């Protein structure tokens, strides 16, 4: 067995193969755009950081947490024993995103199952309540890299270890076949068409490794047989192809191993997503040989997504992720992953025709920062999205009136079509809602939760909907958090502030109310426990102040605290530092 990472031998061999080499050069040359500048305001959102107390005692892991708290409007929750001990506190915070910061040996398949269930239990409805991701790594530096990574990156170039990677829905890329030797497809940046080729190598291992090491690929998709430590490249048998692996004894390294036994290191720095679309257990972390750890360490993955259970013929999670990321909408990778699970839950428990049992409700993991904006790049020419979404908000009355409209861009089937097919439209709301009442709709069924609206508008038993067809949902609600009003302010802003901050004796907490109303003003510690309730009653309109004399209670240690003001329609938080 020999180890090498040079490209010279591969390129010399590809020269002999003619057109495939030329296409590879063209794609790699075109596929290195500058990273997108994610400067636009995303509006108000809440970010929860959840970590075990014993992990948080480690100064290195504190650095990961502090990086997230500095990067986002975030609140920290620590727990000992069961994570469900802080479920009520996290639910009261109503986060839009949850980062579960975890040492790799705790980020097990059981933990993934628990995280899914934890997220559905933050309020009364049975659906997931926050977009989440697990921030981990074999080395703390890998978790820190995820926490301090860019605000986002463009997905311009896709590389498929499977032809079922939806190549036509991306600006450019290469899709290779896991079942037919030599077969692959290419798509150029300014051409909507995919081109079939049959002159590919019998063993794709070296070719795919070189594509990844060229620092141009933003999304790598695999399918076929898998395990936590490897991806078998050929399907259904290994045949004449190699494997992708991660080896701990080499320092947690992502690798390709050819059929001939050559071991090729995957060393890439450009941000990318690894998507184990159709592999058993490829997202499961068991030991230092697990694929997820290698890809987070050496392959440039800011997201690693894969099943922690055996993937089967009726699995639905990853088909839905593809749908909301590239075919039906252009949500961020974590948002698409989250929405896919809401569609899966709906189909599973509402008898959607053809959807079946869907045993993977809690069976897939996503490693990475849930608020990172990785999405399909708006460059080049590629297939139209199935439909467009529009959300209109009328905030002029006692309640907000929200109108959600779906308009078909092309003829198609906006609902469950197959394991890898379409799903019902889901619109992620640009605010969090409560006191929801559906006023009207022309759909088969609708679900509106505090952060999304699902429109069931088509079944497998029906003809495709024509281009231009629309469906509409109207509902009223109270906002839990505000929408940016275009002037950098939030509707119903209470201007919650604490001064001085940091403070060593007492702090003055000030806030404004538009009218007299019942409010609750609580102080939480970093684990989410209520330290003191300062106000619980009706407060007059206008400017109000409350003094928190933390030093008057000898049991209160110095540290970070969260002040939260809750009204009948909204909740606001402010971070405070008490220097004892």
CATH entry 3.40.50 includes domain 47-147: yes
CA distance 568 to 538: 11
Pick the CATH number of 497-578 from 2.60.40.2380, 1.10.10.1150, 2.120.10.30, 2.60.40.1930: 2.60.40.1930
Task: Tell me which of 29-33, 193-197, 259-263, 336-340 is least confident.
Answer: 29-33
Candidate from 23-32, 104-113, 128-137 with smallest mean pLDDT: 23-32
Residue scoring higher pLDDT (43 or 573): 573
Q: Are 516 and 541 in contact (CB under 8 A)?
A: yes
> Is residue 10 scored above 60 in pLDDT?
no
Mean pLDDT taken over the chain: 88
The pLDDT, as a whole number, for residue 117 is 97
The confidence score (pLDDT) of residue 41 equals 35
- Segment 27-44 mean pLDDT: 39
Give the closest residue to 397 by CA, choosing from 441, 427, 435: 435
Average of pLDDT values for 300-312?
Answer: 97
**What pLDDT sits at residue 22?**
38
% of the chain surpassing 70 pLDDT: 88
CA distance 72 to 448: 27
- The mean pLDDT value for 216-232 works out to 97
Residue 146: is its pLDDT beyond 50?
A: yes
Residues with Cβ within 8 Å of residue 194, at least 6 apart in sequence: 167, 168, 175, 185, 186, 187
Contacts within 8 Å (CB) and 24+ apart, 25-30: 26/188, 27/157, 27/172, 27/173, 27/174, 27/186, 27/188, 27/216, 28/211, 28/214, 28/216, 30/172, 30/188, 30/189
Q: Do domains 387-479 and 497-578 have the same CATH topology?
A: yes
Predicted confidence (pLDDT) at residue 155 exceeds the cutoff of 70:
yes
Residue-level pLDDT at 90: 92
Element at 455 (helix H, strand E): strand 452-456
**In the chain, where are the structural domains located?**
3-36+152-364, 47-147, 387-479, 497-578
Q: Which residues contact 562 (CB under 8 A, 6 or more apart)?
A: 75, 523, 524, 525, 526, 573, 574, 575, 576
191-209 pLDDT, tens digit per residue, is 999 999 999 999 999 999 9
Res 484: pLDDT: 34
In this prediction, residues 286-311 reach a mean pLDDT of 97
Phi and psi angles of residue 293, each rounded to the nearest 5 degrees, phi first: -70, -40
Which residue is listed with tokens 């392959």?
299
Is the pLDDT reported for residue 5 higher than 50? Answer: no
State the average pLDDT over residues 198-227: 97
Q: What CA–CA distance (Å, rounded) separates 406 from 306? A: 30
Q: Which two tokens stand for residue 74?
A: 């975030």
387-479: CATH topology is Immunoglobulin-like (2.60.40)
Q: What is the mean pLDDT of residues 252-274?
A: 96
> Is the model's pLDDT at 491 over the cut of 70?
no
Q: pLDDT for 42-96, tens place per residue?
A: 456 889 999 999 999 999 999 999 999 989 888 899 999 999 999 999 998 899 9
């Amino acid at each position: 067995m020999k180890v090498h990472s040079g490209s010279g031998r591969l390129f010399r061999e590809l020269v002999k193969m003619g057109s495939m080499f030329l296409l590879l050069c063209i794609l790699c040359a075109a596929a290195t755009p500058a990273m997108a500048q994610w400067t636009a305001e995303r509006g108000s959102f809440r970010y929860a950081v959840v970590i075990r107390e014993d992990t948080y005692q480690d100064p290195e892991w504190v650095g990961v947490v502090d990086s997230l708290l500095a990067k986002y409007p975030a609140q920290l929750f620590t727990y000992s024993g069961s994570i469900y001990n802080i479920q009520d506190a996290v639910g009261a915070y109503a986060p839009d995103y949850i980062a579960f910061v975890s040492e790799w040996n705790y980020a097990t398949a059981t933990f993934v199952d628990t995280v899914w269930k934890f997220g559905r239990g933050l309020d009364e409805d049975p659906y997931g309540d926050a977009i989440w991701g697990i921030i981990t790594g074999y080395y703390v530096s890998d978790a820190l890299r995820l926490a301090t990574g860019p605000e986002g990156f463009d997905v311009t170039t896709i590389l498929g270890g499977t032809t079922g990677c939806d190549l036509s829905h991306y600006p450019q890329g290469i899709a290779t076949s896991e079942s037919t030797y030599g077969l692959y497809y290419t798509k150029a940046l300014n051409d909507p068409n995919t081109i079939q080729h049959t002159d590919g190598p019998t063993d794709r291992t070296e070719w795919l490794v070189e594509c990844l090491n060229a620092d141009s690929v933003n999304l790598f998709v695999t399918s076929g047989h898998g395990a936590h430590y490897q991806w078998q490249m050929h399907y259904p048998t290994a045949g004449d192809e190699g494997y992708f692996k991660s080896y701990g004894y080499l320092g947690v390294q992502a690798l390709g191993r050819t059929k001939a036994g050559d071991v090729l290191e995957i060393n890439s720095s450009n941000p990318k997503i690894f998507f184990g679309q159709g592999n058993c257990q490829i997202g499961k972390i068991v030991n230092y040989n697990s694929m997820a750890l290698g890809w987070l360490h050496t392959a440039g993955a800011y997201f690693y997504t894969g099943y922690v259970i055996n993937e089967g013929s009726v699995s639905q999670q990853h088909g839905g992720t593809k749908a909301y990321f590239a075919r039906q909408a252009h949500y961020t990778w974590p948002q698409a992953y989250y929405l896919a699970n809401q569609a899966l839950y709906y189909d599973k428990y509402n008898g959607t025709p053809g959807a079946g049992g869907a045993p993977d409700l809690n069976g897939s993991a996503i490693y990475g920062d849930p608020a990172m904006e990785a999405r399909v790049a708006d460059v080049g020419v590629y297939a139209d999205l199935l439909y467009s979404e529009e959300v209109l908000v009328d905030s002029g009355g006692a309640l907000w009136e929200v109108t959600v409209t779906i308009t078909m861009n092309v003829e198609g089937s906006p609902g469950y079509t197959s394991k890898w097919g379409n799903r019902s439209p889901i619109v992620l709301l640009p605010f969090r809602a409560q006191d929801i009442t559906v006023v009207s709709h022309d759909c088969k069924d609708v679900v509106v939760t505090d952060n999304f609206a699902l429109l069931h508008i088509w079944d497998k038993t029906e003809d495709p909907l024509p281009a231009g067809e629309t469906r509409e949902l109207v509902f009223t609600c109270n906002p839990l958090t505000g929408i940016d009003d275009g002037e950098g302010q939030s509707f119903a802003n209470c201007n919650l502030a604490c001064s001085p901050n940091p403070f060593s004796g007492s702090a003055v907490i000030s806030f404004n109310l538009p009218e007299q109303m019942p409010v609750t003003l609580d102080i939480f510690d970093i684990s989410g426990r209520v330290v003191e309730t300062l106000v619980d009653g009706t407060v007059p309109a206008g400017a109000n102040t409350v003094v928190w004399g933390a030093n008057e209670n000898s049991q209160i240690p110095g540290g970070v605290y969260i002040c939260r003001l809750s009204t009948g329609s909204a909740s606001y938080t402010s971070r405070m530092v008490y220097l004892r």
